[in-house]
Structure 1
Amino acid sequence: MKALIVYAHPRDVSFSKAVLDCAVRTLETKGYEVIVRDLYKMNFNPILSGEETIHVEDGKFIRENMNYPKDVMYEQDLILESELLIYIFPIWWNGMPAIMKGYLDRVFAHGFAYSFEDDEPKKRFAGKKALFFTPTGQPQNENGELTPIDQAIKLLTSEWMFGSNDVDIIDHVFYGSVPYKTREELAFYLKDVEKRINEL
């Protein structure tokens, strides 16, 4: 089994990095082949160029560059080769880091991850599963239910990313109040990461 982790945080010492390390370690223990795409370390170009965007001419969706750029195709190939897709990113200003949004803009392109014209994306994404881990400074509900902000973020990230290609979203997990937690409390969060991956 192949697992692809797309990760976005600029600091090597962060709770997001601890989540990444825990996820990799647990997946490898389970026998997964793990590939990590650390967008900041890669210096991934998040800027969607005019040639890459789609527009409508004579009722058809087209782009000036008929082929995806090489860096985008490489990321797309990694997605296609992987059965499990994991995304780890913090919430800043009630959204994902800009570099992660740029990754989605460029890699999850029309014709690859979604289409207004055919069902090819559903075919190529069939059978894949996705899991999201999202640290945030916002407090969470004590009963475990998502807050209204988390519900909105989930709708606009995980559900929006895979809503048109039928990927099975295992969960979108929010770890709240991270800057205010003790090391012991953060360790409890990491145990939850390990538990969720072990239950796959």
Structure 2
Amino acid sequence: MKTVLLVHAHPDPHSLTAQMVRAARAELRAQGHEVIQSDLYAMGWNAVYDEHDFPDRQDRERLSFVDESGHAFSTGTQPDDVRAEQAKLMAADAVVFQFPLWWFGMPAIMKGWIERVYAFGLAYGYQGAGNRHRYGEGGLAGKRALLSVTTGGPAADYGPRGINGQLDELLFPITHGVLFYPGMDVLPTYAVHGTSRIDAEGVERAKAGLAARMRTLFTDAPIPYRTQNGGDFPDRHVLADDVAPGVTGLRAHLR
């Protein structure tokens, strides 16, 4: 049995987002997995920092700790809501983020979850080593992550020559930055397009497709991003000249 955290963001409890979360939860439980959730709108999640989110350096060093898996991170003087979400994240073997694509990214409330939960020592500054452990290593290494995204526009808009840009490239700051940066194994995105005109049959297909992805959540091959410390970046900043010569941009990050 595994533990899966579902993080989702939509203000309408009857939305397609909510229906897909219920479908994912049912399938995961049918497989015998434990499911924990963060329904950000229902929780009234505070998406912005306040003074309690910034422990000073002395507090961070004094209050850092190591969990049962050997992960070292700091909760410091962070508020209870952040610490509760960090506990969920650290307990999870996989995290599924379900959200509608709003202005080419995740809803602000979900971005705020990332910014507040991804504290110093957990998602960056791992083991007090600055930027030594990132992109394939870090406090979230060993966990799997999946984005499940809905778009109002049709799939053609998000294709290789689509007017909105290719979906994988639009989501790169999330898949590569938010998820792979602290060490997670990132699975190919599950996307449902054309939701502004979706009918009942389309909703059922969307839910069935996500349920199918839940059945392979722990067996699907992750996106083959290049790790920082695997040898492709000898100075930890720029690809070696003999690695993917002539390839630039986002494609250069794929093995």
Indicate the RMSD between aligned Cα atoms, in angstroms: 2.7
1:111-139 CA-to-partner distances (Å, cap 9, x unmatched) read 21123345399353221101111111021
The 2-side partners of 1:53 and 1:150 are apart by 34
TM value normalised by structure 2 = 0.67
Match of 1:125 among 140, 149, 156: 140
Structure 1's 32 and 143: CA in aligned 2 closer, same or farther, altered over 3 A?
Answer: same
Q: Contact 1:139 / 1:177 at 8 angstroms: preserved in 2?
A: yes
The 1-side partners of 2:101 and 2:14 are apart by 16
Matched, 1:113 2:115: no
Higher strand fraction (1 or 2): 1
Q: Contact 1:54 / 1:110 at 8 angstroms: preserved in 2?
A: no
Matched, 1:182 2:199: yes
Unaligned ranges ≥5, structure 2: 58-74, 218-255
Shift of 1:91: 1.2
The structure number with the bigger radius of gyration is: 2
Aligned length: 192
Matched, 1:19 2:36: no
**Range 147-156 or range 16-25, more displaced:** 147-156
Matches within 5 A, 1:1-200: 1-50=2-51, 52=53, 66-115=76-125, 116-119=130-133, 122-141=137-156, 148-200=165-217
Shift of 1:54: 8.8
Structure 1's 15 and 119: CA in aligned 2 closer, same or farther, altered over 3 A?
Answer: same
Unaligned ranges ≥5, structure 1: 57-64
Q: Contact 1:131 / 1:169 at 8 angstroms: preserved in 2?
A: yes
The 1-side partners of 2:133 and 2:85 are apart by 21
Structure 1's 146 and 74: CA in aligned 2 closer, same or farther, altered over 3 A?
Answer: farther
The 2-side partners of 1:146 and 1:136 are apart by 17
Q: Percent identity?
A: 28
TM value normalised by structure 1 = 0.84
